C-alpha cells in the first residue's frame, strides 16, 4: 500500500523529486517510487532521544528564585517534591499529553528515560511494572513510537551513599531491575522497544554496572546521564580517578548501542575518544539552558566525526525545531560567530543538524527510523509549504527556513508507520487527551 503523499522528500543526501513510499502492513517502507515534480515537501520524523515524561506537568513551576544561587541542584529539589505526587493514572495522563504534543511538533519516536518505578515511599506497586505500563499505554493512546528505558538507580553519590527517602521510589537492586526488564521485553512490538538506562555513574556503583552489562541482551540500547554538571565531574575525579566520560570509555565497551545524555563537560581527549566510540550524544539544549548546565563542545565533536541527536528532557519546550535552533545558537553566543554546525558536504546549518538526528535515530532508539528508505518505518512529517515562511523556498534553503524562521509550527501532518496522527498541527485525539491531563494535574496539585 502507499499512504504517504507523493512529495519532494528529504534524505541525508538532499531532496528527491516526487517520491512515493510503498509500505508493508506494519508501516515499514518496502520501496520508494519516483514520480514527477511535486511542491509538497516531506522530511523524516524526528527521534526524541531523551524524555522524562512526568516533568512536562511541572514545566514553569521552578522559575522562582529559591536561594541566592539557584542551580541544577536546587531545581532537583523542586522536581523531587513534584515527583512524589504521581501515580500510574497520573503518569499515563501526563505522558499522553506530552506525547500528543511531541507528535504535533514533529517528534515521531521518544526514548523515555524512566525512573519513577514505585510508590512515593518506595513500596513497589502490586504490579512492579505499573508505572512503566502507564507510559506504554500513553504511547499506545497517542501512536508515538516508544523506546522505554527503565532506569537503574542504586546510590546517592559517588561515595556509595544510601538513597534519601524521596529517592526510594527510584530504587532497584540489579536482580530486581533485570526482572523488570525481562517482564517488559516480553511485551515488545513494532512500536515498542525496551532498552536499559543507567541513571548516572554517581547512582550506579561500578560493580553493579559491570554485573548489569554482562547480563543485558546483546541488542539492548543503553542510555546514561553523564558529565552534565561540573560538580559531577569533580566528584568522579575524586572517587574514581578520572573524568566521567573517560572513566566510562575505559571501563565499558561503549559502542553504537550507547547514548550518552548531555556529556556537557568534556576535555579535548574525551571529545575525540567519545566520537570514535560510535556512541550517540543526546543533547537537550532547552533543558540544558534552563538548568544552567553549560554548552557542549559541538564544533570540536563534529570535527571528530561524532554522532549526535536531540531530546526535550524536562519538556520546558516540546519542539525539535527549538532544540536544533538552540543547539546552533548556543555555539554562536560562545564563539561570537555564525553558522557553526556545518559540514564539508553542506554549508546549510539546518541540513547538517537534520542529517545528524536522522542518522543517529535508529542506533539510539533501537527502532528502524530516521531515514525514509526501504527497511525503515514510514515515520514522516509533511511540511506546510503554504505557510508564508516557505514563500519562494527552494532546495537550498527549505530546511533552514523550517528551523530558523520563527515559532509557528510548520508541520502540517505527522505520520507514524504510515498512519497520519496529526493534521494541521493538531493530534487527532487532542481534546480528550488534554481533558484527561487537566483533570490529572488538578488532582495532583490538590493533594
Same-domain status, 330 and 403: no
Nearest CA-CA partner of 130 in 170, 91, 76, 79: 91
pLDDT computed for residue 295 by the predictor: 96
What does the H/E/C string look like for the chain?
CECCCCEEEEECCEEEEEEEEEECCCCEEEEEEECCCCCCEEEECEEEEEECHHHHHHCCCCCCCCCCCCCHHHHHHHHHHHHCCCCHHHHHHHHHHHHHHHHHHCEEEEEEEECCCCCCCCCCCCCCCHHHHHHHHHHHHHCCEEEEEEEECCCCCCCCCCCCHHHHHHCCCHHHHHHHHHHHHCCCECCEEECEEECCCCCCCHHHHHHHHHHCCCCCCEEEEECCCHHHHHHHHHHHCCCHHHHHHHHCCCCCCEEEEECCCCCHHHHHHHHHHCCEEEECHHHHHHCCCCCCCHHHHHHCCCEEEECCECCCCCCHHHHHHHHHHHHHHHHCCCCCCCECCECCHHHHHHHHHHHHHHHHHCCCCCCCCCCCECCEEEECCCCHHHCCCCCCCHHHHHHHCCCCCCEEEEEECCEEEEECCEECCHHHHHHHHHHHHHHHHHC
* % the chain with pLDDT above 70: 97
Q: Look at residue 60 in the predicted model and tell me its pLDDT.
A: 78
Residue 400: domain span = 7-44+374-430
| Domain count of the fold of the chain | 2
Condensed to tens digits (0 to 9), the pLDDT of residues 124-157 reads 999 999 999 999 999 999 999 999 999 999 999 9
| pLDDT of amino acid 1 | 54
Residue 4 — pLDDT band, cuts 50, 70, 90? confident
Residue 162 lies in a domain: yes
Residue 118 lies in a domain: yes
What pLDDT is attached to residue 66?
Answer: 75
The torsion region of residue 11 among left (phi > 0), alpha (psi -120 to 50) and beta comes to: beta
Same domain, 278 and 337: yes
106 in the same domain as 21: no
Instruction: Name the pLDDT band for 326 (thresholds 50, 70, 90).
Output: very high
Res. 74 pLDDT band, cuts 50 70 90: confident
Poorest-confidence range of 2-11, 49-58, 111-120, 196-205?
A: 2-11
Mean pLDDT of all residues belonging to the chain: 94
Q: Is residue 75 part of a domain?
A: yes
Same-domain check for residues 277 and 410: no
pLDDT of residue 6: 77
Boundary-marking domain end, from 332, 348, 365: 365
158 and 113, same structural domain? yes
d(CA 445, CA 441): 6
Q: Quick one: pLDDT band at residue 36, thresholds 50, 70, 90?
A: low
The catalytic site residues sit at 262, 313
Question: What is the average per-residue pLDDT within 81-87?
Answer: 88
- Together in a domain, 319 and 392: no
pLDDT at 18 over 90: no
pTM recorded for the entire structure: 0.97
pLDDT of residue 346: 87
pLDDT at residue 200 above 60? yes
Q: Are residues 358 and 381 in the same domain?
A: no
* Cα dihedral 239→244→246→251 (10° resolution): 70
Q: Specify whether 307 is located in the same domain as 384.
A: no
Q: What is the CATH number of the domain that holds 410?
A: 2.30.40.10
| Angle value at C-alpha 69, between 322 and 121, nearest 5 degrees | 80
Task: Give yes or no: residues 226 and 347 share one domain.
Answer: yes
Above 70 in pLDDT, residue 2?
no
194 vs 84, more confident: 194
- Verify that 55 and 21 share a domain, yes or no: no
Between CA 288 and CA 362 the distance in angstroms is 24
Q: Are residues 247 and 218 in the same domain?
A: yes
Q: Is the pLDDT at 436 greater than 80, yes or no?
A: yes
Distance CA 153, CA 202 (A): 9
Question: Grid coordinates in use for 157?
Answer: 553519590
Is the residue at 385 inside a domain? yes
pLDDT digit string, tens, across residues 364-404: 999 999 999 999 999 999 999 999 999 999 999 999 999 99
Please check whether residues 272 and 345 belong to one and the same domain: yes
Q: Which of 68-77, 144-153, 284-293, 313-322 has the lowest mean pLDDT?
A: 68-77
Tell me: the pLDDT tens digits for 296-316?
A: 999 999 999 999 999 999 999
Q: Residue 266: inside a domain, yes or no?
A: yes
Question: Percent of the chain scored above 90 by pLDDT?
Answer: 84
* In the predicted structure, residue 83 carries a pLDDT above the cut 90: no
Give the mean pLDDT of 229-250: 97
Give the span between the Cα atoms of 277 and 275, in whole angstroms: 6
Amino acid at each position: 500500500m502507499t499512504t504517504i503523499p507523493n512529495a519532494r522528500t528529504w534524505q541525508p543526501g538532499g531532496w528527491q523529486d516526487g517520491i512515493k513510499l510503498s509500505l508493508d502492513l506494519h508501516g515499514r517502507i518496502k520501496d520508494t517510487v519516483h514520480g514527477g515534480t511535486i511542491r509538497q515537501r516531506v522530511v523524516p520524523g524526528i527521534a526524541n532521544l531523551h524524555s522524562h515524561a512526568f516533568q512536562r506537568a511541572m514545566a514553569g513551576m521552578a522559575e522562582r528564585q529559591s536561594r541566592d544561587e539557584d542551580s541544577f541542584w536546587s531545581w532537583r529539589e523542586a522536581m523531587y517534591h513534584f515527583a512524589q505526587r504521581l501515580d500510574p493514572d497520573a503518569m499515563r495522563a501526563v505522558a499522553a499529553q506530552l506525547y500528543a504534543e511531541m507528535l504535533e511538533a514533529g517528534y515521531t519516536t521518544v526514548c523515555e528515560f524512566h525512573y519513577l518505578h514505585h510508590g512515593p515511599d518506595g513500596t513497589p506497586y502490586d504490579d512492579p511494572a505499573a508505572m512503566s505500563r502507564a507510559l506504554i499505554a500513553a504511547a499506545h493512546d497517542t501512536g508515538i513510537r516508544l523506546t522505554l528505558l527503565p532506569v537503574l538507580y542504586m546510590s546517592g553519590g559517588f561515595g556509595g551513599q544510601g538513597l534519601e527517602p524521596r529517592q526510594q521510589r527510584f530504587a532497584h537492586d540489579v536482580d530486581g531491575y533485570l526482572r523488570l526488564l525481562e517482564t517488559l521485553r516480553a511485551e515488545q512490538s513494532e512500536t515498542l522497544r525496551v532498552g536499559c538506562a543507567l541513571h548516572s555513574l554517581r547512582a550506579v556503583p561500578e560493580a553493579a554496572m559491570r554485573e548489569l552489562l554482562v547480563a543485558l541482551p546483546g541488542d539492548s540500547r543503553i542510555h546514561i546521564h553523564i558529565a552534565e554538571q561540573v560538580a559531577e565531574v569533580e566528584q568522579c575525579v575524586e572517587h574514581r580517578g578520572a573524568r566521567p566520560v573517560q572513566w566510562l570509555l575505559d571501563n565499558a565497551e561503549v559502542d553504537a548501542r550507547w547514548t550518552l545524555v548531555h556529556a556537557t563537560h568534556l576535555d579535548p581527549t574525551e571529545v575525540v575518544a567519545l566520537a570514535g566510540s560510535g556512541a550517540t550524544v543526546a543533547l537537550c539544549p532547552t533543558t540544558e539552558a534552563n538548568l544552567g548546565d553549560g554548552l557542549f563542545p559541538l564544533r570540536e565533536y563534529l570535527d571528530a566525526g561524532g554522532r549526535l541527536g536531540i531530546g526535550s528532557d524536562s519538556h520546558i519546550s516540546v519542539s525539535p525545531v527549538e532544540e536544533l535552533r538552540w543547539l546552533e545558537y548556543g555555539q554562536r553566543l560562545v564563539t561570537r560567530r555564525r553558522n557553526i554546525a556545518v559540514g564539508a558536504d553542506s554549508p546549510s546549518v539546518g541540513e547538517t543538524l537534520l542529517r545528524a538526528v536522522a542518522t543517529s535515530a535508529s542506533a539510539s532508539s533501537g527502532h528502524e527510523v530516521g531515514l525514509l528508505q526501504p527497511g525503515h518505518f514510514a515515520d514522516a512529517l509533511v511540511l506546510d509549504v503554504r505557510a508564508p515562511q516557505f514563500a519562494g523556498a527552494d532546495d537550498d534553503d527549505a530546511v533552514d527556513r523550517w528551523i530558523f524562521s520563527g515559532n509557528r509550527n510548520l508541520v502540517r501532518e505527522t505520520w507514524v508507520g504510515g498512519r497520519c496522527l496529526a493534521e494541521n498541527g493538531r493530534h487527532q485525539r487532542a481534546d480528550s487527551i488534554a481533558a484527561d491531563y487537566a483533570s490529572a494535574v488538578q488532582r495532583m496539585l490538590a493533594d
